[in-house]
Amino acid sequence: MTTISINTGRREEFVDITARVQEAVQASGCRHGVCHVICPHTTAGVTVNENADPDVVHDILLSLGEIVKELRGFRHSEGNSTAHVKSTLVGTHVCLPIVEGRVALGTWQGIYLCEFDGPRRRQVRIVCVSAGKEA
Amino acid sequence: MTTISINTGRREEFVDITARVQEAVQASGCRHGVCHVICPHTTAGVTVNENADPDVVHDILLSLGEIVKELRGFRHSEGNSTAHVKSTLVGTHVCLPIVEGRVALGTWQGIYLCEFDGPRRRQVRIVCVSAGKEA
Amino acid sequence: MTTISINTGRREEFVDITARVQEAVQASGCRHGVCHVICPHTTAGVTVNENADPDVVHDILLSLGEIVKELRGFRHSEGNSTAHVKSTLVGTHVCLPIVEGRVALGTWQGIYLCEFDGPRRRQVRIVCVSAGKEA
């Protein structure tokens, strides 16, 4: 398992960690298999989405803000319940194929740490599992 | 890794790919372990849900349409921001157990490619990872 | 693969299954790798979120109730379409690292079975896949 650290700079943002995941996969020596990208936090997440046009990430964050509203009935005293909800909706892990020593992403895909309660120092854990080339 | 191709026929639809995933698992020769079903697109996803009553898929798509609304603040010029949001909410991968050479699904479960910006030609990648029977 | 059974007690609740997943991982003998926690149901899910303050789970369930509304257009006759939608949004599996024979969770993380259409007897499947310590 490799752990990478990321300093987020705002309350909410998506940080592109694709290059750092690629480095971890190369360092692991895994040639074919699956790369697990796992976030050990409860007010952040990880997702795969477009990394060509940064407006896409803007629109996803805007949409999540409309979907997950502050509610009068919230009880958690830290005031970050919407961040916990977004973490569960977006999820805290992604799985990606490893092909010939690299994470195989779609043309437009990048891997993002999703910060919902920053700025903070965050970690992401990466585990590579080998499988046969034909598996 | 096996790649399957699917032609979707509408803007939004769920295509049942259970049989094709089963074929890929059998072809892989994996007897026990985990099957990863991974979508390399940013305006589509994969999910597991009921495949007995097609009304369930209808209702999920209807609900997603209510949850993820077009917003004035969207910036992405392609006009498909809601599809990107749905992709991140539904997710682009599922993991399922492989038992005795087959994907072990619950009684009512099927595996779906979720099209949110079709019609298009889509791909799904399948990676099988072996584990001991008792693992 | 290990299967655990959980009796849920309400229409909607999150049941902390962290201890039972830890037991299954220890029994598997896996030292380093990935633990897959998979729910074979279509009106339930699994997630990882805070297990220190139970108010967080309360707030997540409250929020999901606001996000996924009953709609006039629902067709599924069993009346549990919102549970199917929540299952797809929250997801039916999580992946976690195994380090030195234990699931490596973040400080505040617990693993939950998410019941959206209970009370029922539910199952969760656990598969452990080994990887090298440095993978």
Provide the shortest C-alpha distance from residue B23 to chain A (in Å). 12
Task: From chain B, pick out residues whose CB is under 8 angstroms from the CB of C77.
Answer: 53, 55
CB-CB under 8 Å, B104 with C1: yes
Give pLDDT tens digits for A53-67.
999 999 999 999 999
What is the pLDDT of chain B when averaged over all its residues?
Answer: 97
B65 torsion bin: left (phi>0), alpha (psi -120 to 50), beta (else): alpha
Q: What is the dihedral of CA C113, B113, C62, A15, to 10 degrees?
A: 90
In A104-131, which positions are buried (b, 16+ CB within 10 angstroms) versus exposed (e)?
Answer: bbbebbbbbbbbbbbeeebebbbbbbbb
Provide the shortest C-alpha distance from residue A111 to chain C (in Å). 16
- 3-class SS of residue B113: strand
B62: Cα separation from own chain's centroid: 17
Give pLDDT tens digits for A77-121.
999 999 999 999 999 999 999 999 999 999 999 999 999 999 999
Please tell me the distance from the alpha carbon of residue B110 to that of residue B133, in angstroms, as a whole number.
Answer: 23
Q: Residue A135 falls within a domain, yes or no? A: no
In B70-87, which positions are buried (b, 16+ CB within 10 angstroms) versus exposed (e)?
Answer: eeeebebeeebbbbbbbb
Confidence of residue C132 (pLDDT cuts 50, 70, 90): confident
Can you give the pLDDT at residue A59? 98
Q: Does position B114 have pLDDT exceeding 80, yes or no?
A: yes
User: Residue range B1-13: average pLDDT?
Assistant: 98
CB atoms closer than 10 angstroms to residue C55 = 16
Can you give the pLDDT at residue A118? 98
Q: Residue A72 falls within a domain, yes or no? A: yes
Q: What is the dihedral of CA C76, C82, C85, C87, to 10 degrees?
A: -110
Q: Count interface pairs A-C at CB distance under 8 A.
A: 107
Q: Residue B21 falls within a domain, yes or no? A: yes
Confidence (pTM): 0.98
User: Residue range B103-126: average pLDDT?
Assistant: 97
| 3-state percent breakdown (helix, strand, coil) of chain B, nearest 5 | 25, 35, 40
Can you give the pLDDT at residue A22? 98
CB-CB under 8 Å, A125 with C104: yes
Please tell me the distance from the alpha carbon of residue A127 to that of residue C103, in angstroms, as a whole number.
Answer: 13
CATH number of the domain enclosing B85: 2.60.120.460
Q: Residue C135 falls within a domain, yes or no? A: no
What is the pLDDT of chain C when averaged over all its residues?
Answer: 97
The token pair at C104 is 């490596």
Number of domains in chain B: 1
Amino acid at the residue A49: N
CB-CB under 8 Å, A97 with B36: yes
Give pLDDT tens digits for C11-52.
999 999 999 999 999 999 999 999 999 999 999 999 999 999
Q: Does position B132 have pLDDT exceeding 90, yes or no?
A: no
Please tell me the distance from the alpha carbon of residue B20 to that of residue B1, in angstroms, as a whole number.
Answer: 14
Q: Does position A134 have pLDDT exceeding 80, yes or no?
A: no
Can you give the pLDDT at residue B133? 79
Confidence of residue C134 (pLDDT cuts 50, 70, 90): confident
Residue C93 has its nearest CB partner, among B50, B63, B95, at B95
Give pLDDT tens digits for B39-95.
999 999 999 999 999 999 999 999 999 999 999 999 999 999 999 999 999 999 999
Can you give the pLDDT at residue C42? 98
**With an 8 Å Cβ cutoff, is A97 touching chain B?**
yes
Q: Residue B135 falls within a domain, yes or no? A: no
User: Residue range B2-16: average pLDDT?
Assistant: 98
**With an 8 Å Cβ cutoff, is A134 touching chain B?**
yes
Q: Residue C26 falls within a domain, yes or no? A: yes
Give pLDDT tens digits for A32-50.
999 999 999 999 999 999 9
Q: Does position B35 have pLDDT exceeding 90, yes or no?
A: yes
Q: Residue B97 falls within a domain, yes or no? A: yes
Can you give the pLDDT at residue B87? 98
CB-CB under 8 Å, B73 with A49: no
Residue A34 has its nearest CB partner, among B42, B67, B129, at B129
User: Residue range B14-35: average pLDDT?
Assistant: 97
Which residues constitute the domain of residue A40?
2-130
